[in-house]
Amino acid sequence: MNKLGLVFDNRYLHHSVQTASPENPDRLRSIYMRLQQKLSGNMFTRIQPREASDTEITTAHSPFYIKQLCEHAIKENPYSYDKDTYLTDDSLPAARLAAGGCFALTDRIMNADIDYGFALIRPPGHHATPGRGMGFCIFNNIALTAEYLRRTFGLKRILIVDFDVHHANGTQEIFYETDEVMVLSIHQQGIFPFSGEAEETGSSAGTGFTINLPVHAQFGDSEYTSILGRTLQGIVEQYIPQFILVSAGYDAHRDETISGTELSTQWYATISHILRRHAAESCRNRLLFVLEGGYNPIILEKSIFATIDALLQDTFDRPGILPVPRAEKILDGHPFRKYWTI
């Protein structure tokens, strides 16, 4: 058995626009070429994506929103819908294929054909709310995947971990009132989309099942590892997720101009080892990474391969999780600790 399955497909590169946008096909072109060359090594399984249907998309988005997207996609100005989120004739097929690529990997993980998956897809998804696309996101791929797990496989405890530098506002909104999907987002405070405060912890049945860890600019590997490592340790032990989904955005890297955080390339290997351990201990290794942001193609490629290499290693490391004063300040008295012990 190959333990890692990857989705990559040139149709994800068709979503593009003439004017310069940070979210463009060049983010993935060279990664795809490198993976294509590695295919003969049988290190991983390439999995074919499919298009998500309207029925599947309406598990997280309103029918009105889908109709609105179709109307804007055929207009001459690709930015007629939103100032960041362009829509062309090729955008909706790519967006359907992005969600469907995650479903294809999910099927293989649930069938135990593979342990881990990585959907190297675009457009990204975590900012898309039930009724609105924004921040380069059309359909919320990770939320649709969690819904797919609930509806197709009957799972009741799904953990979404989002380490993109931007808050997972769309994902949070979709699952704010349920305890069947826990959304844990670590992100830089005070930048787009200007939400994700520590006090946002869910409501109704979902109270305590949204965890926001807003961090400051200049936070780097040690702070991130300490905050996420400690939080995950407690959460996973108590929530015991049946599946771990990862919104893997690479824009908190120190060489990204879009943010002020300072993660190294190696940190993406560290967090992958930590997540592997939690998946082994709680949910029979079921772990799926879904690409979100990351806008410097050279850094994105290195960071994605740091993740892939960590997923391909025979065993996982147990990185030391040390208390760091700046990280302790974030965790001390954090509202989520009313509900969970760390």
Residues at the interface with Zn ion (CB under 5 A): 164, 166, 249, 251, 293
Q: Which residues contact 61 (CB under 8 A, 6 or more apart)?
A: 128, 130, 131, 139, 140
Structure-token pair, residue 32? 């795809």
Q: Which is nearer to Zn ion, 47 or 211 (CB)?
A: 211
Shortest distance, CB of residue 38 to Zn ion, whole angstroms? 27
Half-sphere exposure of 268 (CA within 13 A, CB side): 30
Rounded CA-CA distance 120/251 in Å is 15
Residue 304: its H or E element: helix 297-312
Q: Which is nearer to Zn ion, 108 or 126 (CB)?
A: 126
Shortest distance, CB of residue 13 to Zn ion, whole angstroms? 20
Q: Which is nearer to Zn ion, 73 or 271 (CB)?
A: 271
Q: Check: CB of residue 92 under 8 Å from CB of residue 53.
A: no
Q: Which residue is nearest to Zn ion (CB)?
A: 293
Shortest distance, CB of residue 295 to Zn ion, whole angstroms? 8
Shortest distance, CB of residue 328 to Zn ion, whole angstroms? 26
Residue 127: active-site member: yes
Q: Which is nearer to Zn ion, 31 or 168 (CB)?
A: 168
Rounded CA-CA distance 283/158 in Å is 10
- The active-site residue out of 15, 126, 127, 278 is 127
Shortest distance, CB of residue 155 to Zn ion, whole angstroms? 26
Nearest by Cα to 32 from 270, 304, 311: 304
**DSSP code string of 137-155:** BSS-HHHHHHHHHHHHH--
Q: Which is nearer to Zn ion, 51 or 251 (CB)?
A: 251
Structure-token pair, residue 97? 């294929």
Rounded CA-CA distance 277/154 in Å is 24
Nearest by Cα to 248 from 60, 120, 149, 123: 120
Residues taking part in catalysis: 127
